[in-house]
Amino acid sequence: MILEVAILNVKPGQSEKFEADFKTAGQYISAIDGYIQHTLKRCVEVEHQYVLLVEWVSIEAHEVGFRQSAQYLQWKSLLHDYYDPFPQVLHYENVL
């Protein structure tokens, strides 16, 4: 299992709309082969900051299966304009 982690900094004043659009966007990511689950968490200390955690069966499921799909284009059109700066996305694997 691979954990995708992205810190999302949403433009001020856009959080409520971002959260609503993120709910809609969930259908696109969850339709991908190799997707396990995802969660979005809002930061308590830093206003307008979120962390996205997505579990995948492999990095390829994310970087090929999702990012090269029609669903990703829908995801991108809904969400990418909210970010400033654009998030760094990293992948983690279990150690223990």
Q: What is the pLDDT of residues 31-67, one digit of tens each?
A: 999 999 999 999 999 999 999 999 999 999 999 999 9
pLDDT at 52 (0 to 100) = 98
Task: Give the domains, in start order, of the chain with CATH numbers.
Answer: 2-85 (3.30.70.100)
Whether the model clears a pTM of 0.75, i.e. scores above it, the answer is: yes
Encoded tokens for 31: 């339709």
In a 3-state reduction of DSSP, which class is residue 20?
helix
Q: Give, in order, the Cα–Cα distances in Å from 87 to each of 33, 34, 79, 83, 95.
A: 23, 22, 11, 7, 25
